[in-house]
Chains A and B, each alone.
Chain A
Amino acid sequence: MYRSHVLVCGGTGCTSSGSQEIINTLQAEIDKNGLSEEVSIVQTGCHGLCALGPIMIIYPEASFYSMVKVEDIEEIVKEHLLKGRIVKRLLYNETVTDEGSVLSLNETAFYKKQNRIALRNCGVINPENIDEYIATRGYEALGKVLTEMSPDDVIKCILDSGLRGRGGGGFPTGRKWQLAKDLVKGGQKYVCCNADEGDPGAFMDRSVLEGDPHVVFEAMAIAGYAIGADQGYIYVRAEYPIAVDRLKIALAQAREYGLLGKNIFGTDFCFDIELRLGAGAFVCGEETALMTSIEGNRGEPRPRPPFPAEQGLFQKPTILNNVETYANVPQIILNGAQWFASMGTEKSKGTKVFALGGKINNTGLVEIPMGTTLRTVIDEIGGGIPNGKKFKAAQTGGPSGGCIPAEHFDIEIDYDNLISIGSMMGSGGLIVMDEDNCMVDIAKFFLEFTVDESCGKCTPCRIGTKRMLEILDKITKGQGTLADIDKLEELCYYIKENSLCGLGQTAPNPVLSTLRYFKDEYLAHVVDKKCPAGVCKSLLSYNIDPAKCKGCTLCARVCPNGAISGTVKEPHVISQELCVKCGACMEKCKFGAISKK
C-alpha cells in the first residue's frame, strides 16, 4: 500500500521532453529518502497539456507540476513527499491563484470546459497494468454484453447513442455494425481498428493507445460479439513505438486473464486480436487500402462498393472503426445510450477530441462536448493566441479538411456545421493560424503532403495534385496569373469527382476552402505580387529606413550572405540581389530600422 502516488506522463510528448530521466531521478531520490515503501511512481499516458511537459501529478493532493526539470526533483521529494509542503513555485501556474491558494486541476481554464470520455483514463492509470484498467470498471462492459445482452441489443444501444465514426467521415457506428451483422449471415467475419493516424498534427489516437490500450481491446471484443466475429486486427503505425510497445504488453496481459481468447468469462464467445504494423503511408488510413495492407499486399485502395461490411478483409464481412470511436464504446454500454445521447448536438452526439496546435498558448489534447464553439476552444481552453496576435483561421481535418475563418469564430463544432462551411471534422487536428500565416502557403503545405502521399493508383490524384502544387508554387513565387487561379479551381473539382479514394477526393479541400475565404490573398500574390502575411519569400523585400538607421553595423555583421553594405555611423543598404530573406538583420536591429514588405 502506498500513501502517495506520483504520476509522471509517459506519452510521446513528455517522453521527448525528458520524462524518462525524471522518473529515474525520482526513483533514486525516493529511495535515498527511504520513501520507496510509501510512495509509488506511476507512468501514465498523456494528460493533454503537452506544451507544459514533462508533467507530474502527486496524489492525494493532486498537485500538478509542469515543465519539471531533473534539478527540481530533489526539492519536490524533500519538501512535498517527505514533509508535505507543496512546492508552489513549480506548480502549473494556472493552479495557483493570486492569493497563493492552490486550485484543483478541474478548475483551470484548460480542463474546466472539457469532458473526458475517450480520454478518461489517459493520465490517470498505468497503461501497462491491466489491474488499474479493471479498477476503473475496465472489461465490465464486455462482461455485461456477454452475460446480459444479445448482439441486437448491443447494436441498438450503439445506434441509439448516436455515436458516429471519429476518424473523419462521421458514419453512424451502430449502422456500420448492423450492416456487418445482417448483410451476410454467419461465416468468418473480422473486426478491425484503424490506428493509422496520419493527419499532420493529430495525435489523439496515439494518446489513447499509449494511455489506455485496453479500452480498444474491450470495444473490439464487444463489436466482435455484436457482428459475430472472433478475430480482430489493429493496424497501427510503426512510427508510434511507445503505442506499439504498450499494445503488446496489454495484449499479453489481456490474454493471460482470458479477457481475450477462448470462452471469455466462461461463455461460448471467443475473440482474439492481432497487431499489424503499418509502414507509414497516409493512404493506408483509407479503409480499403488499410485492409489490403493487412492482407500483406501493397497498401492501395480499391473501389467501393462492395463495402467492407459486405466484403472486407480477406473478402469477408468486416467492420473498421478508428481508435477514438472504440474508446467511447465501453462507456456507452455501461452508462447507456441515453447518457451518451444527452451530450452534444442534434446530429452529433458525445464528445470529440481535438489536437490543438499552431498559434495557440495551450498546445495539446482537449476533449469537448460536440457543439462547443470554436471561440471557447481557442480563447478559453486553448488560452488564446500568443503575443496578442489576431486570429485569422483554424484548420480542421488536416490535408482533407479546410479552414474556418474569423467570421465563423462562433460556430458550434459538429460534423454537419463544419461541412456546411466547407471544412470537415476529420480526425480532429485543429491548427490555429494568426495574421502571420499566409493562406496560400498553408494550402501549398497540405498539397505538398498529399502529393507525397498519393499512392499513384489513379490518375486524377497522382497527376492532378502534382499540377495543382505546381500552380500554387508559381503563385507563391509571384509568377501566377489570374488564369492560373481559375485553372486551379477547375482542377480541384475534377480531382474531387474523379479520384478513386478518400485521399484524392478530399485532397483539393484545403485549396478550395482557402479560395473561398481568402481569395483576396491569392489575388494579392497574383496581381500585386505581394504576400500580405509576409511569408512567401520570393515576394518579400527587406529594406533599411535611412532615417532610423544609426549605422551601428550590427546587421551587416549578422547577414549570412554579405548583402548589407555601408560605413560606420552612416545608413546601411541591403542589396536585393544578394539578400536571401532570412530576416536575421531585422531580428538584430535595435532601432527598428529594418522592415519587410
Chain B
Amino acid sequence: MELSIERMDNYMKSLEELREIRERMQGQVGLRSEDSSQTRVVVGMATCGIASGARPVLTTLSDAVQTKNLNNVAVTQTGCIGLCQYEPIVEIFEPGKEKVTYVKMTPEKALEVVEQHLIRGQVVAEYVINNAIK
C-alpha cells in the first residue's frame, strides 16, 4: 500500500489517538440519542423569545453542552411559554425533579447555568423565575 506524505499526518500510531477522536466526536453524535433519562434544556424560541435574544442563548447552551461532553443533556427549543416579558426563558427538566425556569437569560448567564446547574447540580437561584420577578 502506498501512502502520500500529507496522508501520513493522520496516521494513527496508538490507541490513544483513536480515543482522542472518539472523545472529540462523542458530544456531537450524542445529540442523536433518545434516552428517557436525559435532562432536557428547553429554550423558548417563539417570536417574543427570538426578539429578546433567545437565539444566542440557544446556541451558547448547545455549544457548551457539546464541548463539555454532557452526553446526558439535550438542548431543544419550544414555542411561546406565555411569559413574553420575561424572555429569553430557559427551562430545565431533570428526570424525577421539578422543572426549573430561568428568565431573562443571556449567553453569559446561560454559561453559568451550564457550569452550576447542569454540571454541579446547583440551581442558580438568582435567575430562577420566582426570585427574578420580585
Q: Which residues of A contact B75 (CB under 8 A)?
A: 3, 60
User: Is A256 within 8 A of B31, CB to CB?
Assistant: no
Q: Which residues of B contact A5 (CB under 8 A)?
A: 31-32
Task: Output the nearest chain B residue to A263 by Cβ-Cβ distance.
Answer: B13
Chain B 41-61 per-residue mask, 1 if CB under 8 angstroms from chain A, else 0: 001111100100000001101
Within 8 A of B (CB), among A4-22: 4-5, 7
Tell me, yes or no, whether B37 is within 8 Å of chain A by CB: no
User: Is B66 within 8 A of A1, CB to CB?
Assistant: yes
Q: Which residues of B contact A265 (CB under 8 A)?
A: 12-15, 18
Smallest beta-carbon distance A136→chain B, Å: 6
User: Is B79 within 8 A of A83, CB to CB?
Assistant: yes
Contact partner, B12, options A4, A60, A131, A259, Cβ 8 Å: A259
Task: Output the nearest chain B residue to A271 by Cβ-Cβ distance.
Answer: B1
Q: Which residues of B contact A388 (CB under 8 A)?
A: none
Interface centre among B25, B26, B45 (most CB of A within 10 A): B25
Tell me, yes or no, whether A314 is within 8 Å of chain B by CB: no
Smallest beta-carbon distance A115→chain B, Å: 15
Count of chain B residues near A, Cβ 8 A: 41
Q: Which residues of B contact A257 (CB under 8 A)?
A: 10-12
User: Is A1 within 8 A of B3, CB to CB?
Assistant: no
Complex-state Cα separation, A119 to B3, whole angstroms = 32
User: Is B22 within 8 A of A134, CB to CB?
Assistant: yes
Tell me, yes or no, whether A106 is within 8 Å of chain B by CB: yes
Q: Which residues of B contact A83 (CB under 8 A)?
A: 45-47, 50, 77, 79
User: Is B18 within 8 A of A139, CB to CB?
Assistant: yes
Tell me, yes or no, whether A87 is within 8 Å of chain B by CB: no
Q: Which residues of A contact B21 (CB under 8 A)?
A: 131, 134-135
User: Is B10 within 8 A of A258, CB to CB?
Assistant: yes
Tell me, yes or no, whether B101 is within 8 Å of chain A by CB: no
User: Is B28 within 8 A of A1, CB to CB?
Assistant: yes
User: Is A272 within 8 A of B10, CB to CB?
Assistant: no
Chain A 256-272 per-residue mask, 1 if CB under 8 angstroms from chain B, else 0: 11111110111000001
Q: Which residues of A contact B76 (CB under 8 A)?
A: 60-61, 84
Smallest beta-carbon distance B22→chain A, Å: 5
Count of chain A residues near B, Cβ 8 A: 44
With contacts A1-B62, A1-B66, A84-B78 known, is A266 near B14, CB below 8 A? yes
Tell me, yes or no, whether A143 is within 8 Å of chain B by CB: yes
Within 8 A of B (CB), among A125-166: 125, 131-132, 134-137, 139-140, 143, 147
Tell me, yes or no, whether A548 is within 8 Å of chain B by CB: no
User: Is B1 within 8 A of A255, CB to CB?
Assistant: yes
Chain A 326-345 per-residue mask, 1 if CB under 8 angstroms from chain B, else 0: 00000000000000000000
User: Is A135 within 8 A of B26, CB to CB?
Assistant: yes
User: Is A59 within 8 A of B18, CB to CB?
Assistant: no
Tell me, yes or no, whether B7 is within 8 Å of chain A by CB: yes
Interface centre among A82, A140, A256, A259 (most CB of B within 10 A): A256
Complex-state Cα separation, A255 to B10, whole angstroms = 9
User: Is B22 within 8 A of A135, CB to CB?
Assistant: yes
Interface centre among B22, B24, B44, B45 (most CB of A within 10 A): B22
User: Is B62 within 8 A of A136, CB to CB?
Assistant: no
Q: Which residues of A contact B79 (CB under 8 A)?
A: 83-85
Q: Which residues of B contact A378 (CB under 8 A)?
A: none
Tell me, yes or no, whether A498 is within 8 Å of chain B by CB: no
Tell me, yes or no, whether B115 is within 8 Å of chain A by CB: no
Complex-state Cα separation, A38 to B57, whole angstroms = 12
User: Is B18 within 8 A of A135, CB to CB?
Assistant: no
Tell me, yes or no, whether A356 is within 8 Å of chain B by CB: no
Tell me, yes or no, whether B94 is within 8 Å of chain A by CB: no
With contacts A59-B32, A258-B13 known, is A134 near B18, CB below 8 A? yes
Complex-state Cα separation, A147 to B34, whole angstroms = 33
Complex-state Cα separation, A3 to B27, whole angstroms = 11
Contact partner, B32, options A7, A139, A147, Cβ 8 Å: A7
Complex-state Cα separation, A134 to B10, whole angstroms = 14
User: Is B62 within 8 A of A3, CB to CB?
Assistant: yes
Task: Output the nearest chain A residue to B25 by Cβ-Cβ distance.
Answer: A135
Contact partner, B15, options A82, A104, A147, Cβ 8 Å: A147
User: Is A256 within 8 A of B15, CB to CB?
Assistant: no
User: Is A104 within 8 A of B45, CB to CB?
Assistant: no
User: Is A261 within 8 A of B18, CB to CB?
Assistant: no
Tell me, yes or no, whether A105 is within 8 Å of chain B by CB: yes
User: Is B34 within 8 A of A266, CB to CB?
Assistant: no
Smallest beta-carbon distance B107→chain A, Å: 13
Smallest beta-carbon distance A300→chain B, Å: 31
Task: Output the nearest chain B residue to A140 by Cβ-Cβ distance.
Answer: B18
Tell me, yes or no, whether A533 is within 8 Å of chain B by CB: no
Complex-state Cα separation, A5 to B46, whole angstroms = 20
Tell me, yes or no, whether A355 is within 8 Å of chain B by CB: no
Contact partner, B34, options A2, A62, A139, A261, Cβ 8 Å: A62
Q: Which residues of B contact A131 (CB under 8 A)?
A: 21, 24-25
Complex-state Cα separation, A261 to B10, whole angstroms = 13
Complex-state Cα separation, A82 to B58, whole angstroms = 11
Complex-state Cα separation, A265 to B18, whole angstroms = 9
Complex-state Cα separation, A5 to B44, whole angstroms = 19
Chain A 177-195 per-residue mask, 1 if CB under 8 angstroms from chain B, else 0: 0000000000000000000
Tell me, yes or no, whether B116 is within 8 Å of chain A by CB: no
Tell me, yes or no, whether A124 is within 8 Å of chain B by CB: yes
Complex-state Cα separation, A136 to B29, whole angstroms = 8
Q: Which residues of B contact A137 (CB under 8 A)?
A: 22
Complex-state Cα separation, A57 to B33, whole angstroms = 11
User: Is A143 within 8 A of B25, CB to CB?
Assistant: no
Smallest beta-carbon distance B115→chain A, Å: 17
> What is A's interface to B at a CB cutoff of 8 Å?
1-5, 7, 37-38, 57, 59-62, 82-85, 104-106, 124-125, 131-132, 134-137, 139-140, 143, 147, 255-262, 264-266, 272
Can you give 21 contacting A-B residue pairs, CB < 8 Å? Answer: A1-B28, A1-B66, A3-B58, A3-B59, A5-B32, A59-B32, A60-B31, A60-B76, A61-B76, A83-B77, A84-B45, A85-B78, A104-B36, A131-B24, A135-B21, A136-B29, A257-B11, A258-B12, A265-B12, A265-B13, A272-B1
| Additional pairs, 15, CB under 8 Å, beyond known A60-B76, A85-B79 | A1-B66, A1-B67, A2-B28, A3-B62, A3-B63, A124-B32, A131-B24, A134-B18, A134-B25, A143-B18, A255-B3, A255-B7, A261-B3, A265-B12, A266-B13
> What is B's interface to A at a CB cutoff of 8 Å?
1, 3, 7, 10-15, 18, 21-22, 24-26, 28-32, 34, 36, 43-47, 50, 58-59, 61-63, 66-67, 74-79
